[in-house]
Amino acid sequence: MSSPQFPIAPGPWHLEGEVYWMLLKPMKTLPAGAYAPLEQPKDDDPHEKTNRYLGGQGIVWIVRYASSPVGPYDELMYQPGDFPTPSGGKSTRITRLYVSSHDTTFNGRRNWNVAKHLAKFSFTPQGSNRTLVEVFDYTEDPKVDAPFFAAIATAQRFLPALPFSTRWLGLEPMVHPPIPAGPKDKPEEVGTTEWAGVDFELHGRIKLAWFEPAPLRAGGKIPPGAYSDGVGFPQIEIRSFGVWFTPGVCLEFGAPLPVEGASPVNDN
């Protein structure tokens, strides 16, 4: 899993930036697009039992990392809720994630089995407290200008930001199964053979936030009133409010943890 093209940055990681949480409404099943095609579980998946969705609080993360061990980058993450772990417990899991950097794609997959893929991001101010967030396929073709995800984020303005840490929620480490390697023309998409856990924390200051679908683009992929196209990213239903972690929030991702009861799979 080494590569001369990308710097190796093992965990733990300390990052700083700005984070939006879109809180998902309860779901009984995962929607289409919850996985990228590369990581979509197969019928003969040896981890079939641990791929069963258990519900729980799902979150879409929109992140602008101002600093990380591999430099600044942007991120869109789908964390739908809980899945079984090999030991018989349950844990939250990230099933689909986009980033704007080759280096973090490589290291996120290598370190924690996080199924990162490349995308292009646009953040356009719409006023003092509103931001249009758009995420596009990663391509050099300038004609591709229709996002597969778009939302307007509005941060609460007048009340002061309050201190907060996810440690207060008593969250257990996330647990991720091994992931397959991508095609040869995407060397950053490395595969893994072992399960990996990751202990994480956000601490900083928060305010309430609200989200609304972005105006439709001509020739766009996203249906009216939706946040995503259901292919590049799953269509989502969100709660009436979300959370904004103000710039300067710290994110800590621990070194990869062994996973109790897990067994390796053949390298992909």
Contact 109, 179 (CB under 8 A): yes
Condensed to tens digits (0 to 9), the pLDDT of residues 144-192 reads 678 999 999 999 988 899 999 999 998 889 999 999 999 999 999 999 9
Q: Tell me the C-alpha distance between 75 and 84, whole Å.
A: 25
- Residue 76 is assigned to a structural domain of this protein: yes
Q: Using one digit for the tens of pLDDT, what is the confidence trace for 67-124?
A: 999 999 999 999 999 999 999 999 999 999 999 999 999 999 999 999 999 999 999 9
- 263 domain residue, yes or no: no
**In whole angstroms, how far apart are CA 246 and each of 129, 135, 139, 162?**
11, 21, 30, 10
Model-level pTM? 0.94
Higher pLDDT, 4 or 57: 57
Task: Tell me how far the alpha carbon of residue 170 is from its chain's centroid.
Answer: 20
Q: CA 254 to CA 243: how far, in whole Å?
A: 23
Positive or negative torsion for Cα 47, 63, 150, 212:
positive
- Asked if 244 contacts 155 with a C-beta cutoff of 8 angstroms, the reply is yes
CATH of the domain at 214: 2.40.400
Q: How many domains does the chain have?
A: 1
Domain contains 1: no
The boundaries of the domain holding residue 102 are: 13-253
The rounded radius of gyration (Å) of the Cα atoms in the chain is: 18
